[in-house]
Amino acid sequence: MKVIALGVNSAFAVGEFDSEGKYSPKFQSNFLLEFESRGKGCVDGKPVFRFCLDFGGDIRHSLKGVGLSMSDVDAWYCSHPHADHIGGLEGIALSTFFHPFWNAEKAEWSKASKIPIIERLMAGEELPEECKPIMMGHPAVLRAIWHAGKPGLNTLQGITKVNLGIYFRLVPMHAGVPHTFQDGNREWTVYTIESTHVKAGMESMPSYGLMFESSDGKCVYFPTDTLFMNPKTMAAFYRKANVIYQDTETGPRSEVHSHIDDIRLADPEIKKKCYLYHYNAPPEVEEGEFAGVLQRGEVHLY
């Protein structure tokens, strides 16, 4: 499994202009995971299945930074419905929906008729599931992202019953139910893990992180946006993981992210597993205190 940091910054981080007026953006926190199995891509003669973990509004630009576009991704996952994690939804849906050759199966389906896609759907024909990108997420998140994207995605001409399933092959990820990704000779099993992101009044917003466990014993954990180890039972997942990608707030406390001051108080053995990201400004850390401070474009192989 290859992990690529498409972006590492917080929702409201802003880039800078240099002395010549050139702008360097700070991309929102999204990850691209690549598995050696059948997908749209091929690298060095080997098939590649691409899985994007969260997709903020600048996802098309951060993908461009690694030489890819939204149509190169096989599957998408959303941890929770905040704009820096779902802001790219409409662009992804529309750019792939109207792409007649998005994958081999859709190319075959498109060539079977000279009638445009929208007209075929208006006539009652259904786009086969294998012709759509995959959208994965906890059922509650899938409902929420449709509600967020509905104003723009509900405007297909002549089609009265539009839903998220028109655009994506939906894969609900229920808590405790494993999903698998083949990766060459290995297999990765992935679970969703609920944590607390926002507590506001009488309501709260969870974020659903992902724990990847390989068939040869490797464990990689993405808690996603969360209050640090909240609930406290999350500590068991932190101890189990070999590598943790930890969201890290470095500015004033918002009480909706793991703050660097709290992370510093964690067990040193846990801290050494953590790559810090989702920061406004990079945190200043002691050498060896953490696995590292993640930089945009950084690649890790597992």
For residue range 185-208, list pLDDT tens digits in order.
999 999 999 999 998 777 789 999
Please state whether 8 falls in left (phi above 0), alpha (psi between -120 and 50) or beta.
Answer: alpha
Provide the pLDDT for residue 155: 85
For residue range 140-185, list pLDDT tens digits in order.
999 999 999 999 999 888 888 899 999 999 999 998 899 999 999 9
Q: Cα separation of 96 and 45, whole Å?
A: 25
Q: Cα separation of 123 and 247, whole Å?
A: 47
Q: Cα separation of 286 and 2, whole Å?
A: 27
* Domains of the chain (ranges, CATH numbers): 2-301 (3.60.15.10)
Tokens 């972006």 belong to residue:
7
Among 185, 181, 235, smallest CA distance to 213 is for 181
pLDDT bucket at 257, cuts 50 / 70 / 90: very high
Provide the pLDDT for residue 260: 97
Is residue 149 classed as helix, strand or coil in its secondary structure? Answer: helix
Provide the pLDDT for residue 199: 81
Is residue 22 classed as helix, strand or coil in its secondary structure? Answer: coil
For residue range 2-52, list pLDDT tens digits in order.
999 999 999 999 999 999 999 999 999 999 999 999 999 888 889 999 999
For residue range 65-113, list pLDDT tens digits in order.
999 999 999 999 999 999 999 999 999 999 999 999 999 999 999 999 9
pTM: 0.96
Provide the pLDDT for residue 137: 97
Provide the pLDDT for residue 124: 86
Provide the pLDDT for residue 201: 74
Provide the pLDDT for residue 69: 95
pLDDT bucket at 117, cuts 50 / 70 / 90: confident
Provide the pLDDT for residue 161: 85
Strands 219-222 and 203-214 come out as antiparallel
